[in-house]
Amino acid sequence: MLGLALGWWLYVPIHELLHAYGCLWTGGEVTRLEIDALYGGAWLAEALPFVEVGSEYAGQLTGFDTRGSDAIYLATDLAPFLLTVFPGVWALRRFGGRGQAVRFGLVLPLALAPFLSVTGDAYEIGSILVTQLPPWTEAAMSELLRGDDLFLAFERVRAAEPSPWGGWFLAGVVGVLWAFATYGAGAVVARWLSSGRVEEAP
């Protein structure tokens, strides 16, 4: 539990910063990244001009411009989850197999991030992909379905006429499938690095 608490505290700002740099590295622009003071928002705001203290969530990228590119949008969403593919799942297996409890807890947020993000980033990734399909390609539909909060998207869809329930549901399903696929990719890397063996605790 000690490792998990520390791991979560460290992971939140790292996750949000990777969203920002995923956007910047692929040609987008970042103007506002909100991070709660509890997670070091005040310190980061002194070092980075686009960081603001305080958020409705632990952290959220609220000001960014993808220049109309869905590829940049996806890169922005996907960047933090590279840490799940490596070293997240590999480290989880390594520390768990060796019985190193604090380190195991420390990397839990890293390894399980896709599942923790099912109603947030995972839904947003699903919504970007789903709005490439003909029934939901119109700008009005994209505006309704896209976002990093499944429940807020639910409220928008419910208030709309017609309501694109199929798109909302499919975006959620795609997000869940993406979460499993991302963890699975991390498992493949972990097996490759350990030659198929998970070390047992002495």
Q: Say how far apart CA 189 and CA 85 lie, in whole Å.
A: 7
Q: What angle do CA 2, 39, 186 make, to 5 degrees?
A: 65
R_g of the chain computed on alpha carbons? 18
Q: Say how far apart CA 78 and CA 65 lie, in whole Å.
A: 16
Tens digit of pLDDT at every position of the chain (202 positions)? 999 999 999 999 999 999 999 999 999 999 999 999 999 999 999 999 999 999 888 999 999 999 999 999 999 999 999 999 999 999 999 999 999 999 999 999 999 999 999 999 999 999 999 999 999 999 999 999 999 999 999 999 999 988 999 999 999 999 999 999 999 999 999 999 987 455 555 5
